[in-house]
Amino acid sequence: MQLTNKMVAVRENVLIRWSALSPAEVQRSVDLAKDTAARYGKVHFFAVVAPTCSLPDGDSRKTLSDNMPKMTEYCASMSVVIEGRGLKGATLRSVAASFLLFADKNMHVWSSLTEAVATLRVKDAEDILAQATTAGIA
């Protein structure tokens, strides 16, 4: 299987662009969060979901669910950025937010990475966004 998602760690920030979700891609995300947390302590995790990303299949959902306890150990905050405009984008963000409502107070849903980084007052936000853009994540 070819891995397609773009990922970068910038100090204590993990930024990922999910264009496809598979168990292997989910595991790569978890591994990057774990490795970055080992180096910097708890990380800020940002997963940008491309508008063309299809819904995860059963195996991917299970891998996400199984790894959630680990992610809360590694992450100070987790943000899901669901790109897209109009009814579809708003609906997807609303559904994701309702699921996260019951999960953890440090999980957030955003419409853009810029909004997430600014609202969470991430240190060196401009540099983080510049590196995310260079890596093809933002």
Q: Across the chain, what does the average pLDDT equal?
A: 84
* Structural domain boundaries in the chain: 6-134
- Please tell me which residue, 98 or 45, carries the higher pLDDT value: 45
Is 102 a residue whose pLDDT tops 60? no
Domain 6-134 bears CATH identifier 3.40.309.10? no
Looking at 1-112, list the stretches that DSSP marks H as alpha helix, in order from N- to C-terminal side.
Answer: 23-40, 58-74, 86-101
Q: Give the model confidence (pLDDT) of 60-91 as tens digits.
A: 888 888 888 888 899 998 888 877 666 666 66
Residue 83 phi, psi (nearest 5): -75, 160
pLDDT at 53: 80
The gap from C-alpha 119 to its chain's centroid, in whole angstroms, comes to 15
pLDDT at 134: 93
Overall average pLDDT of the 35-60 stretch: 89
